[in-house]
Amino acid sequence: MPTSIALIESYYDAFNRGDWEAMLGHLAEDVAHDINQGHRETGLDTFRRFLGRMNRCYRERLRDISVMANADGSRVAAEYVVHGEYLADDEGLPPARGQRYVLPGGAFFDIRDGRIARVTNYYNLQDWIAQVTGA
């Protein structure tokens, strides 16, 4: 269990540093990525493209990160607060004008052979939209 918690803490440390290659180094080659309120993508190259889009559209840092694991460390959950700025229009979302936002989020992970095999992200999309549109 401590190893799985340390893996996720290191993953988020890399995220907060904007070190995408370090983040990718924590993932299994066939990683499953469940996008918030969306579909599942599979594979390291697909995740790399996702990070590229995120890097273009958003500047985010996670704070107040809390990581928990089951007894054997095969499943991990994290809760955090996202502090972000919407930099460029993302497909299907409101126009970007540098809006800042703060919202709680969370993620669930499957761990296999010391790597992240699944990432399922969640945040309240309607809350985010209200924040960036001023609604």
Question: How far apart, in whole angstroms, are the C-alpha atoms of residue 18 and residue 60?
Answer: 9
Report pTM.
Answer: 0.94
* pLDDT attached to residue 6: 96
Q: Three-state SS across 69-111?
A: ECCCCCEEEEEEEEEEEECCCCCCCCCCCCCEEEEEEEEEEEE
Find the mean pLDDT for residues 86-100: 95
The CATH number of whichever domain residue 27 belongs to comes to: 3.10.450.50
Give the CA distances from residue 100 to residues 40, 82, 87, 123, 130, in Å, rounded to whole numbers and listed in that order.
27, 10, 9, 15, 11
Question: How far apart, in whole angstroms, are the C-alpha atoms of residue 79 and residue 106?
Answer: 4
Answer whether residue 2 shows pLDDT above 70.
no
* pLDDT attached to residue 134: 87
How many Å is the maximal CA-CA distance in the chain? 45
Residues whose CB is less than 8 angstroms from the CB of residue 17 and which lie 6 or more positions away in sequence, other chains included:
none
- Rg value, the chain, Cα: 15
Answer whether residue 37 shows pLDDT above 90.
no
Quote the number of domains for the chain. Answer: 1
> For residue 99, what are the domain limits?
2-133
- Give the mean pLDDT of the chain: 95
Q: For residue range 47-76, list pLDDT tens digits in order.
A: 999 999 999 999 999 999 999 999 999 999
